[in-house]
């Protein structure tokens, strides 16, 4: 019984990975003829999503980009705390910027980071 569950879990994982690659390819195809650095940056992200093998782990550009972005968000959070502590920002602006950072961090997190699970 446990083997059947593990097999189905692997199948679900593979289906999700294939669907994510397909979605990234659709986005890439839509932006393929768009010019500019912004479009190229998005195409690079899409390419990373569909070309990274599931076992690439720490070496994939996607994982590295996520880690760097999260490190940058952490630095921004620290600066935001400093601004608040020095009374250089009001409580409303503090909360608004904190929410912006929350969304930024969520946007680059892995799929597992964003998943809501029941306990």
pLDDT in tens, 55-88: 555 577 778 888 888 999 999 999 999 999 999 9
Euclidean distance between CA atoms 61 and 84, whole angstroms: 34
Range of the domain at 81: 57-114
**Residue 113, pLDDT score:** 67
| Res. 24 pLDDT band, cuts 50 70 90 | confident
Q: Is 44 helix (H, G, I), strand (E, B) or coil?
A: helix
| Res. 32 pLDDT band, cuts 50 70 90 | confident
Instruction: Please answer whether residues 50 and 28 qualify as being in contact, where contact means their C-beta atoms are separated by less than 8 angstroms.
Output: yes
- Of the three residues 11, 36, 51, the one that is the final residue of a domain is 51
Residue 119, in any domain of the structure: no
Dihedral sign (CA 81, 103, 67, 28): negative
**Structural domain count of the chain:** 2
Q: Is the pTM of this model over 0.85?
A: no
Same domain, yes or no: 44 and 62: no
Tokens of 36: 């500019």
Residue 66, in any domain of the structure: yes
Same domain, yes or no: 63 and 110: yes
Same domain, yes or no: 45 and 65: no
Residue 67, in any domain of the structure: yes
Same domain, yes or no: 70 and 37: no
Same domain, yes or no: 37 and 65: no
Residue 74, in any domain of the structure: yes
**Residue 114, pLDDT score:** 66
Same domain, yes or no: 47 and 80: no
Same domain, yes or no: 43 and 72: no
Q: Is 22 helix (H, G, I), strand (E, B) or coil?
A: helix
């Amino acid at each position: 019984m446990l083997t059947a569950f593990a097999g189905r879990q692997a199948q679900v994982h593979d289906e999700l990975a294939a669907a994510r690659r397909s979605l990234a390819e659709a986005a890439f195809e839509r932006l393929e003829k768009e010019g500019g650095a912004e479009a190229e940056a998005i195409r690079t992200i899409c390419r990373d999503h569909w070309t990274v093998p599931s076992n690439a782990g720490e070496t994939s550009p996607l994982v590295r980009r996520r880690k760097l972005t999260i490190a940058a968000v952490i630095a921004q959070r620290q600066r935001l705390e400093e601004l608040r502590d020095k009374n250089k920002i009001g409580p409303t602006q503090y909360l608004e910027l904190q929410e912006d950072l929350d969304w930024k961090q969520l946007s680059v997190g892995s799929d597992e980071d964003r998943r809501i699970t029941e306990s």
